[in-house]
Structure 1
């Protein structure tokens, strides 16, 4: 039988997913285009696959490592810029 504390505390990935959903709703309330919101959602989902920690301990170094990985994957400059914009809107 698990502890009550473990049951009540969501996993970090779930916490971040909830925050991403809130960010996307905020963009929608600001009347951003559905295409932009979908793109940001995709970009942020990919970011969450890379980083599974807490926002409280997210560092510039981790963000730089993420974008180094994006560059290594031969992403176009436009894709890199989109990923940066998405993460900036989220943070």
Structure 2
């Protein structure tokens, strides 16, 4: 969900309809993911120079044909408690309820 938000720039309301979760739930998930990403991945890289950031972006463009990119995240399943009345909507192949992230 957070990847989709970052990649498309869609609104939380669009995510609300797409994932069938409450607007405040979507907001909280995206906020928590951003905080964790910053703490675990990017905080140590915040002091890079402009030239170093440009080198990373150029490497992404050359290797993946993906311009203006400075990082990538593989998909993950965020474990969750089964939402009421959702049936098997959020049940995944790993045999638990989750939101693909």
Higher RCO structure (Cα 8 Å, ≥6 apart): 1
Report the structure, 1 or 2, having the larger strand content: 2
- TM-score scaled to structure 1, two decimals? 0.33
- TM-score scaled to structure 2, two decimals? 0.31
Look at both structures and tell me which one has the larger radius of gyration over its CA atoms. Answer: 2
